[in-house]
Amino acid sequence: MDFTFTEEQQDFRDALRRFVDREIVPVASEWERSGRYPTEIVEHLRAMGLFGITTPEQYGGLALDMVSFTLVYEEISRGWMGIAGILGSHNLSCWMIARHGTDEQKQRLLPKLAAGEFRTGVGLTEPGAGTDLQGIRSTARRDGDEYVVNGTKTWITNARHADVLPVLVKTDPTTSPAHKGMSLLLIDTTSPGFEVSRDLGKLGYKGTESCEISLQDVRVPVQDLLGGAEGRGLQQALSGLEIGRLNIAGRSVGITQAAYDAALRYAKERTAFGRPIADFQAIQLKLADIATQLQAARLMTYWAASQADAGRRVDMEAGMAKYFASETAITASLEAMRIHGGYGYSTEFVIERLYRDAPLMAIGEGTNDIMRTVIAKALLSGSGVIG
């Protein structure tokens, strides 16, 4: 069994790492505290082609393998997890369009999205429906060659910067089961009635906005129904969330790596009773725990990504990676804060930001309790095999 990156993947990681250390790490804490949007960093992401990592090459994208895809989110989150969110929702949307869109939709949208000329995200969650997406209330009523959309979406990343937004709606609210009446519409955000109504305050995950969107009689051409057939929206969205969980697992590994690096560096530099605190066994045990859990999370994450590259369904594998890596990020950020003592609670050090960013990883792309049920169902059905 080979647990190493290919030479190409290693070179890609090295390039990402240099970019993060040069462009993100020096400004992350200051820009996060001030609420400054990372415009310059976004331009660098665009220049590197990272808005096209899930877009096929024929449309101008990079079409990265899933291991390299996951590397992007690990390395950027090591510098600032909020920046990874800008890419995450965009590339998830591109993946859904590339996989499920009509030829016309792909040709019209993907070249601009891959180049970063257009931006996008995903409009799924509503104030009364998160995990239970079949409970959404947003509707799209057919009116000739258009749909008339009404509803509210919340926690939408990239909302203020999106040019087109896939939005999950009910095209037939009377159908049972509900998912048979759900569709994804590719909504032009300049359409009358489409409004970003407010930004949501957050504990962490700053650098990118999370917004509530109001849709009032928004008219959407029938040609902007993703895939051209009604009733496929939930399946299309869920298929995207499968790779989205690799994204979250990668981000979690990046947060954990940053916590470990900070804790190790501080333990060597900080002295107590005339000695570096790294000399004390209590600190050594914490470092050993963080490092061991980090390595386990990383191996599980790239195992899941490699299974996706092999063409397999990875509901269980991605669920395991997301679950374990996100819990590891939470634990590691707290233990790193304890190693720092009072300074870990200070905004002058990176640890308090990691501690605020980590909990979202246990919530995004399906809560960890949902991940556990996904894993269990795969095991019980026989589709997931361990051993």
Tens of pLDDT along 109-118? 999 999 999 9
- Spell out the residues 6+ positions from residue 377 whose beta carbon is closer than 8 angstroms to its own: none
Predicted pLDDT at 91: 98
Domain ranges within the chain, ordered by starting residue: 7-114, 133-231, 235-381
User: What's the mean pLDDT in 361-379?
Assistant: 95
Average predicted confidence (pLDDT) for the chain: 96
**pLDDT exceeds cutoff 90 at 172:** yes
Looking at CATH, the fold of the domain delimited by 7-114 is given as Butyryl-Coa Dehydrogenase, subunit A; domain 1 (1.10.540)
User: What's the mean pLDDT in 149-166?
Assistant: 97
**pLDDT exceeds cutoff 90 at 387:** no
295-332 pLDDT per residue, tens: 999 999 999 999 999 999 999 999 999 999 999 999 99
**pLDDT exceeds cutoff 70 at 62:** yes
User: What's the mean pLDDT in 339-362?
Assistant: 97
Q: How confident is the model at residue 251 (pLDDT cuts 50, 70, 90)?
A: very high
User: What's the mean pLDDT in 340-344?
Assistant: 97
Q: Which two tokens stand for residue 99?
A: 């996989």
Predicted pLDDT at 345: 97
User: What's the mean pLDDT in 347-365?
Assistant: 97
CB atoms within 10 A of CB 193: 14
Predicted pLDDT at 152: 98
Predicted pLDDT at 102: 98
* Per-position b or e across 327-364, b if 16+ CB within 10 A of its CB: bbbbbbbbbbbebbeeebeeeebbbbbbbbbbbbbbbb
**pLDDT exceeds cutoff 80 at 2:** no
Q: How confident is the model at residue 179 (pLDDT cuts 50, 70, 90)?
A: very high
- Using N-to-C axis directions, what is the helix angle for 7-19 and 66-79, rounded to 10°? 20
Long-range contacts of 284-292 (CB under 8 A, 24+ apart): 286/335, 286/338, 286/339, 287/260, 287/263, 287/339, 289/335, 290/256, 290/259, 290/260, 290/263, 290/331, 290/332, 290/335, 290/336, 291/260
12-58 pLDDT per residue, tens: 999 999 999 999 999 999 999 999 999 999 999 999 999 999 999 99
The C-alpha atoms of residue 252 and residue 325 are separated, in whole angstroms, by 6
Q: Which positions are annotated as active-site residues?
A: 365
- Using N-to-C axis directions, what is the helix angle for 81-100 and 103-114, rounded to 10°? 160
**pLDDT exceeds cutoff 90 at 292:** yes
Model pTM? 0.96
* Helices within the chain (DSSP H only): 7-19, 28-34, 39-47, 66-79, 81-100, 103-114, 233-269, 281-309, 315-340, 351-361, 368-381
For 235-381, CATH gives: 1.20.140.10
Predicted pLDDT at 1: 66
Predicted pLDDT at 210: 96
Residue type, 242: E
CATH class of 133-231: mainly beta
10 Å CB burial of residue 214 (0-12, 13-18, 19+) is middle
pLDDT over 70 percentage in the chain:
100
Q: Do the two domains 7-114 and 235-381 of this chain adopt the same fold?
A: no
Query: Comparing C-alpha atoms, which of 360, 122, 109, 131 is closest to residue 237?
Result: 122
